[in-house]
Amino acid sequence: MNVIKITVAALLMASLASAASFNTQAEKDRKALIAYMEKKFSDPAKNKGSFFPYSTNEELSKRFTKGIKRDAFRLGSYAYDKGGKSQYDEVMEMPPFEDNIDAGKALYEKKFANGKTFKSCFPDPAIAGEYPKFDDKKGTVVTLTLAINECLKANGEKPWKMKKGKMADLEAYFASASTEAGKKVHIVIQSEAAAQAYEAGKKAYYSQRGYLKLSCATCHVQGTGKRVRNEYMSPLLGHTTHFPVYRLKWQGLGTLERRIEGCNKDEGEKPHKPGSPWMSNVLYFMAYMSNEMPVDGPAIRK
Ligand code: HEC
């Protein structure tokens, strides 16, 4: 009896140990990113030489916030840009996405033709921080957008477009339910195949692309705190915590997929399709970087 117990315990521990090890590299990457961003923004004026050689002292000492810690980076550039933050706070007093959240809730509760609802796939709507997941049976990353479409198909409904409209509304409801429930980003790398998908996403994020030879990291890691066309660039850290986002430019809500497509175009690259392996792997990598940060959506951006 005792021998059996010990064997079972040993097996359990062995499987726990290997489950933990699949995210070893990802944990290193995540901690390094947090350390980089916290150091960069500990005192931007003092760090001018190492991080902001082309910024003016005036900008760094007067316009930027100092001593920013991990969770605050979910605000994107508004974490450090004082002017942007005060405009953000003003708009958030009467957020323009309230109707979208209501429409999303109605979609969540609406019956499919077969009489079931989204609840049959997602009994708890506070799941924004749980995606993307790696599905070991399929061997692919499943983003929240793909999971929603899978639920529709499983119930005999047509899948939705992945960038705005109903998709963004339902995701806004999930994000708001998660924020209200105090949920955190919780991305799991539970197998060798999942670790490979993470690595593929990371590689895509750091590779130079398009005729401009820019990588996502050029702008959202090294470039954070610098400007492009008069817009301050936000950090990779916290990029997935608050989507979908209402953009003033769009005059409406959009999913992460929609936003990234815009950045692909800015890079001089043909946009990657929402739902493609490229997009799913990149989103898996990005979401892992935001692990443990509070879910904080929907949000507003210029
Ligand atoms: C030339 C610089 C540049 C490159 C390269 C770039 N972006 Fe962006 N990105 C921007 C700018 C500018 C914005 C708008 C301001 C901001 O929030 O950073 C933005 C916004 C975003 C946002 C929205 C952030 C938020 O909180 O709303 C995401 C997500 C994003 N980019 C992802 C990516 C990904 C993924 C890639 C690589 C495929 C990429 N970007 C490449 C410049 C860039």
Asked if the structure places residue 12 within a domain, the reply is no
Ligand 1 atom with the smallest distance to the CA of 266 is: 1
CB within 8 A of 13, min separation 6: which ones? none
Ligand 1 pocket, residue 190 CB under 6 Å: no
| Known catalytic residue at 216 | no
- Stretch 175-186: mean pLDDT, rounded? 98
> Per residue in 132-153, pLDDT tens?
999 999 999 999 999 999 999 9
Asked whether residue 229 falls in the same domain as residue 295, the answer is: yes
Asked whether residue 85 falls in the same domain as residue 211, the answer is: yes
CA–centroid distance, 234 to ligand 1, in Å, is 7
Which residue range is the domain that position 176 belongs to? 98-180
Probe target for ligand 1 pocket from 219, 221, 280, 295, with the most ligand atoms within 8 Å of CB:
219
Q: What is the pTM of this model?
A: 0.93
The whole-number pLDDT of residue 1 equals: 46
Probe target for ligand 1 pocket from 81, 211, 221, 234, with the most ligand atoms within 8 Å of CB:
234
CA–centroid distance, 115 to ligand 1, in Å, is 41
DSSP per residue over 28-56, as a string?
HHHHHHHHHHHHHTT-TTTTHHHH-TTS-
Asked whether residue 171 falls in the same domain as residue 198, the answer is: no
Ligand 1 atom with the smallest distance to the CA of 238 is: 26
* Overall number of domains in the chain: 2
Ligand 1 pocket, residue 214 CB under 6 Å: yes
The whole-number pLDDT of residue 209 equals: 81
- Residue 151's domain is classified under what CATH number? 1.10.760.10
Residue 5's pLDDT band (boundaries 50, 70, 90)?
low
Residue 291's pLDDT band (boundaries 50, 70, 90)?
very high
The whole-number pLDDT of residue 267 equals: 81
Residue where one domain finishes, among candidates 157, 180, 203: 180
User: Per-residue pLDDT for 61 more than 50?
Assistant: yes
Ligand 1 pocket, residue 279 CB under 6 Å: no
Residue where one domain finishes, among candidates 158, 180, 202: 180
User: Per-residue pLDDT for 230 more than 60?
Assistant: yes
Asked whether residue 153 falls in the same domain as residue 118, the answer is: yes
The whole-number pLDDT of residue 3 equals: 52
Residue where one domain finishes, among candidates 116, 149, 180: 180
Asked whether residue 115 falls in the same domain as residue 197, the answer is: no
Asked whether residue 115 falls in the same domain as residue 36, the answer is: no
Q: What tokens were used for 101? A: 């959240």
Q: Residue 162: CA atoms inside 13 Å, Cβ hemisphere, count?
A: 21
Residue 287's pLDDT band (boundaries 50, 70, 90)?
very high
Asked whether residue 102 falls in the same domain as residue 123, the answer is: yes
Ligand 1 pocket, residue 261 CB under 6 Å: no
Nearest to 258 by CA among 235, 283, 234, 284: 283
Asked if the structure places residue 1 within a domain, the reply is no
